[in-house]
Structure 1
Amino acid sequence: MVDESGRDRILVLGIGNILWADEGFGVRVVEEFHRRFTVPDNVTILDGGTQGLYLVNYVEEADGLIVFDAIDYGLVPGELKLVRDDEVPRFTGAKKMSLHQTGFQEVLSAADLLGRYPQRLALIGCQPLDLEDWGGPLTAPVHAQIEPAIELACALLAEWGAAAVPRREPLVGDARLLANDIDHHSYELRARPAE
């Protein structure tokens, strides 16, 4: 589907659960991307969290889809891997780490069944180290991949004719994608509950 000006619609989506350490990688990347970059009107930036099938409406409207996620590819923890187009559904063979992965695979299948599968699809996945630390932050090797993941997304957007532009000043407060103390910075600074 094209927008009013005839440009392809692009969705930049982060999925995952910020409550389970590295499982939150996708959400933290899209959050930081939104904080630091502006995009053309035909690009939507979305924190998909663990919404599963509720994301179908967004995906079916997209001609291009970039997804950030923690994926168990069996690689070294913190290793980033870009998978594109027809290769993306193969991540269904990767070890599932949480319910949101099954849900997102169903989202892609539903969009395909509706005849509205994105023409271009890119998955920027990071190999997690820890998925058991409930309430914990991203581990150091996974956190270190936020910037490279953003760089990959910027390169893809430029390739797709929708270049991201750095903001003069990164967004703060309620202007951010996530607020209410669940943004990355606030979440990792807060005191953790005792065991």
Structure 2
Amino acid sequence: MNTKRILVLGIGNILWADEGFGVRCAEALNAGWQFPPQVTLMDGGTQGLYLLPYVQEADCLLVFDAVDYGDPPGTLREVVGDQVPRFMGAKKMSLHQTGFQEVLMAAELTGKLPAELVLIGVQPEELEDFGGSLRDVVKALMAPAIDLALSWLARWGSVPEARAVGGEPINDNALAMDRYEGGRPPADQACRLGDARFLNQECV
């Protein structure tokens, strides 16, 4: 039995276009897969140091985020180990990154930094659009980012189970493209997905 405590964290601000990439990935994972009890999946938003206790409790930490690497927009990067804090602080796009870099530093100072760190980050295209959705070039990388996360979970011995819709597993590409950025899904689809948020009446 796997005893590694795993924290999968999506951070960022969904109100500012591509800044919401990390949170949207966490939402899609939550909607599409069921996780074993040793895995905690969390929308970390812009909580900063409030996330410290959760990070300190984890043996393995995987973070989704939009990070300015200086790459072309829509570039996906996988950063591992002691490179993660360096990339989180390379070029601050917003206060949430300052806050999360402080979380990692505080966890290290207290001797409780997770033994394994992974950052799955995307180079944003647009940040100065309050209320705007993910840009297409960034949205298209949600599915590959989720695939990377699932491979890390498998490596850590905690394989999630895909939720099923009509006997078929939910497609992670459909989650990324349709559920969160494509507006209101058809009522029957929302009911099957258990997502009454998009409905004007309860599912029957």
**TM-score of the two chains, using structure 2 as the length reference:** 0.81
Distance 1:92 1:30, change over 3 A: closer
Whose Rg is larger? 2
Instruction: Could you tell me which runs of 5 or more consecutive residues in structure 1 were left unpaired when the two chains were aligned.
Output: 171-183, 191-195
Distance 1:74 1:150, change over 3 A: same
Give the fraction of aligned pairs with identical amino acids, expressed as a percent: 58
Distance 1:53 1:118, change over 3 A: same
Q: Give the Å deviation of 1:154.
A: 0.2
Amino acid in the other structure paired with 1:71: V
In the alignment, what sits opposite 1:158?
Answer: 154
Instruction: Identify which range, 5-14 or 144-153, moves more after superposition.
Output: 5-14
What's the secondary structure of 1:18's corresponding residue?
A: coil
Distance 1:187 1:76, change over 3 A: closer
Amino acid in the other structure paired with 1:189: G
Amino acid in the other structure paired with 1:123: L
Following the alignment from structure 1 to structure 2, what is the Cα–Cα distance between the partners of residues 17 and 81? Answer: 19
Following the alignment from structure 2 to structure 1, what is the Cα–Cα distance between the partners of residues 60 and 40? Answer: 10
In the alignment, what sits opposite 2:192?
Answer: none
Q: CA RMSD in A?
A: 1.7
**TM-score of the two chains, using structure 1 as the length reference:** 0.84
Q: Give the Å deviation of 1:165.
A: 1.8
Contact 1:79 1:127 (C-alpha < 8 Å) held by counterparts: yes
Contact 2:2 2:158 (C-alpha < 8 Å) held by counterparts: no
What's the secondary structure of 2:15's corresponding residue?
A: coil
Q: Give the Å deviation of 1:128.
A: 0.1
Following the alignment from structure 1 to structure 2, what is the Cα–Cα distance between the partners of residues 188 and 158? Answer: 30
Q: Paired residue for 1:111, among 107, 111, 128?
A: 107
Answer yes or no: is 1:72 the counterpart of 2:68. yes
Pairs within 5 Å for 1:48-87:
48-87=44-83
In the alignment, what sits opposite 1:138?
Answer: 134
Q: Paired residue for 1:17, among 13, 37, 40?
A: 13
Contact 1:36 1:169 (C-alpha < 8 Å) held by counterparts: no
Distance 1:21 1:188, change over 3 A: farther
Following the alignment from structure 1 to structure 2, what is the Cα–Cα distance between the partners of residues 33 and 92? Answer: 22
Tell me how many residue pairs correspond in the alignment. 173
Following the alignment from structure 1 to structure 2, what is the Cα–Cα distance between the partners of residues 132 and 80? Answer: 20
Following the alignment from structure 2 to structure 1, what is the Cα–Cα distance between the partners of residues 126 and 110? Answer: 36
In the alignment, what sits opposite 2:33?
Answer: 37
Contact 1:14 1:68 (C-alpha < 8 Å) held by counterparts: yes
Following the alignment from structure 2 to structure 1, what is the Cα–Cα distance between the partners of residues 63 and 44? Answer: 10
Following the alignment from structure 2 to structure 1, what is the Cα–Cα distance between the partners of residues 42 and 59? Answer: 15
1:137-164 Cα offsets, whole Å, 9 max, x none, are 0000000011000000000000011112
Following the alignment from structure 2 to structure 1, what is the Cα–Cα distance between the partners of residues 76 and 137? Answer: 10
In the alignment, what sits opposite 2:22?
Answer: 26
What's the secondary structure of 1:189's corresponding residue?
A: coil
